[in-house]
A = this chain, B = another copy of it.
Amino acid sequence: MSETREQILEEIKIQATKSSCSIALQDNTNNKSDNNKTDNNDTDDRGGVSGGVGCAIKHRHLELEKIDEEVSRLLLLKSKLGDEVSQMQKFILKTPKGTRDYAPRQMMLRQTVLDKIVAVFKKHGGEAIDTPVFELKEVLTGKYGEDSKLIYDLKDQGGEMLSLRYDLTVPLARYLAMNKISNIKRYHIAKVYRRDNPAMTRGRYREFYQCDFDIAGAYDAMLSDSECVKIVSEILDVLHIGDYIIKLNHRQLLDGMFEACGVPADKFRSICSAVDKLDKSTWLEVRKEMIEEKGLSPETADKIGEYVQLSGDNELIEKLLADEQLKNIPVAVKGLEDMQLLLKYCNIMGLNGKIIFDLSLARGLDYYTGVIYECVLKAEPKILNGCNEQQDIIGSVAGGGRYDNLVGMFDAKGKKVPCVGVSIGVERIFSVLEAKYAAAGIKQRTNEIEVMVISAHKGLHEKRLSILNVLWNQGIKAEHFYKLNPKLLNQLQYCEENQIPLAVVVGDSELAKGMVKLREISTRKEEDVLLTNLPDEIRKRLQC
């Protein structure tokens, strides 16, 4: 757009140079008639002076026509330029498509939620890392299948081809391989970028936070996997966000089941993607996709259909271990044995009632190789009024699984570092909590000010500053109006509107006694307090 503007400006310059008279470009847009009038007057004057010579007049007229032509041409260009400018100004006052600013109220909620999540991560020994927001394009290439088209690329600016990170898992794998780290429990909270069609009303953005915890290392089966499930449960509990269920499944069991049903091996991943849609589509829709798009026979699809509608607990595992079709397929048996162990460990950690073995769980990403899980929130219809009440699940708030081969893709010798991890769907959690607070009429504060220092009358701003200085040095959160002489009422109203608990009211009569009034905003109770005792008196009241 700026080029277009420059082009127009350039053309104006050229036209102005070509034009046989110099025309001043004026600033306002109402100058068309003015210009014409000026030109006409000018012409009349000149005509009057030089009149009588036909040829000269004709020449003059031609000249005038040319000038008028140039004038209207320039004015047209100018109005175009004006449109451009005003369009640009409209254009500027937005964030890029699919992105948004976070206002203080949202940030406060976010920070509260993230603090609670990080506390859980730390309880389990999590260490933080951070990686650049962009990676070499090659790092991301070939990791996300079809979704690669959603990656944001940067302009080549002389050298490297860079892309914005699409998730935090691939950068972790790159980090582990690059630094030859084979054991870590790391968490990472950062924004990721997907050039998806944003459905912002449904809380889907192109820039959004991910919040991941992963355990890397070659360990005994299911010990780290089950701890990830425990972490999800602890986080959901501490957020008081509502009832939830954690679905568990196993990629090797899925593969074994596909094999048992007669799916060719090269279609395992694409059939897996189809199964993954069962949380949003009916079995009939998924079946149709399997047959018409993915080329399965109706018999094969129906066999799959029987399995993926199963869910349960250890009893189901026992049943499947005895299943004639599955029991001879080693990967299926391996998956089922893992699941058996996983359920046992989860139950030891008090997760019974919160987990379910669900054969319809598939997870979209290609890179999972073992256990997969997904935590879904059960809706509270009174809160989520935009939601279909028939549907008692409002969607996934956490998910993850085991991916044993991803790090090896970055290692020169292909050395594998087995990993299992979980991603907390913080954006959805934020939305749910925002809706919950809004419904409950809870107005969260956006700052943490404890004391407002107030002038009772004029001429006290320096005294306010000196009191504030004492409070700040004592670690008390305090502020004042940045005005020399603010009105007492305005200051008190501000405290009430902003839920500030206390006010120090400074006035000459109290100051003469070395005192100030300490006011409790909610009760409007005031008490004279010695300046020397002020910080202690404030702390005493804040503790109540």
A90 contact set on B, CB distance < 8 A: 412
Stretch at the interface among A264-272, A342-350, A432-440: A342-350
Of A131, A132, A344, A349, most B-chain CB atoms within 10 Å: A132
Q: Does A94 contact B (CB under 8 A)?
A: yes
Q: Beta-carbon contacts of A490-525 to B below 8 Å, as 1s and 0s?
A: 000000000000000000000000000000000000
> How far, in whole Å, are A234 and B474 apart by their CA atoms in the complex?
11
A448 contact set on B, CB distance < 8 A: 122, 125
Indicate if the CB atoms of A93 and B177 lie closer than 8 Å: yes
A477 contact set on B, CB distance < 8 A: 122-125
Chain A at the B interface: SS class: mixed
Indicate if the CB atoms of B348 and A469 lie closer than 8 Å: yes
Q: How many A residues have CB within 8 A of the partner chain? A: 100
Measured CB to CB, the closest approach of chain B to A356, in angstroms, equals 20
Q: Beta-carbon contacts of A113-135 to B below 8 Å, as 1s and 0s?
A: 00000000011111111111111
A472 nearest in chain B by CB position: B123
Indicate if the CB atoms of A107 and B127 lie closer than 8 Å: yes
A160 contact set on B, CB distance < 8 A: 96-97
Indicate if the CB atoms of B99 and A134 lie closer than 8 Å: yes
A131 contact set on B, CB distance < 8 A: 95, 101-102
A95 nearest in chain B by CB position: B132
> How far, in whole Å, are A527 and B536 apart by their CA atoms in the complex?
41
Q: Does A223 contact B (CB under 8 A)?
A: yes
A191 contact set on B, CB distance < 8 A: 133
A479 contact set on B, CB distance < 8 A: 124-125, 185
Indicate if the CB atoms of A224 and B482 lie closer than 8 Å: yes
Indicate if the CB atoms of A475 and B123 lie closer than 8 Å: yes
Indicate if the CB atoms of A153 and B152 lie closer than 8 Å: no
Q: Does A50 contact B (CB under 8 A)?
A: no
Q: Does A146 contact B (CB under 8 A)?
A: no
Indicate if the CB atoms of B96 and A135 lie closer than 8 Å: yes
> How far, in whole Å, are A153 and B128 apart by their CA atoms in the complex?
29
Indicate if the CB atoms of B447 and A138 lie closer than 8 Å: no
Q: Does A104 contact B (CB under 8 A)?
A: yes
> Given the interface contacts A127-B447, A478-B123, does A152 sit within 8 Å of B141 by beta carbon?
no
Measured CB to CB, the closest approach of chain B to A535, in angstroms, equals 13
Q: Does A293 contact B (CB under 8 A)?
A: no
A500 nearest in chain B by CB position: B125
Stretch at the interface among A274-282, A362-370, A371-379, A460-468: A460-468
Indicate if the CB atoms of B469 and A350 lie closer than 8 Å: yes
Measured CB to CB, the closest approach of chain B to A488, in angstroms, equals 17
Measured CB to CB, the closest approach of chain B to A131, in angstroms, equals 5
A452 nearest in chain B by CB position: B125
A470 nearest in chain B by CB position: B350
Indicate if the CB atoms of A128 and B108 lie closer than 8 Å: yes
Indicate if the CB atoms of B128 and A107 lie closer than 8 Å: yes
> How far, in whole Å, are A164 and B153 apart by their CA atoms in the complex?
12
Measured CB to CB, the closest approach of chain B to A60, in angstroms, equals 39
Indicate if the CB atoms of A446 and B207 lie closer than 8 Å: no
A139 nearest in chain B by CB position: B92
Q: Does A26 contact B (CB under 8 A)?
A: no
Contacts A100-B132, A127-B446, A154-B154 aside, 10 further interface pairs with beta carbons under 8 A come to A92-B138, A103-B129, A108-B128, A125-B448, A154-B155, A223-B482, A224-B482, A230-B472, A234-B472, A349-B472
Instruction: Name A's B-contacting residues (CB within 8 A).
Output: 1-2, 86, 88-97, 99-104, 107-108, 111, 122-136, 138-139, 141, 152-155, 157, 159-162, 164, 174-175, 177-179, 184-186, 191, 193, 195, 207, 215, 217, 219-220, 223-224, 226-227, 230, 234, 344-345, 348-350, 410, 412, 446-449, 461-462, 465-466, 468-469, 472-473, 475-479, 481-484
Q: Which 5 residue pairs spanning A and B have beta carbons closest together?
A: A219-B482, A104-B127, A99-B132, A107-B128, A223-B482
15 interchain pairs (CB within 8 A)? Answer: A1-B161, A92-B139, A94-B178, A95-B131, A96-B134, A101-B178, A123-B477, A125-B448, A132-B207, A133-B193, A134-B207, A153-B155, A154-B154, A220-B461, A223-B461
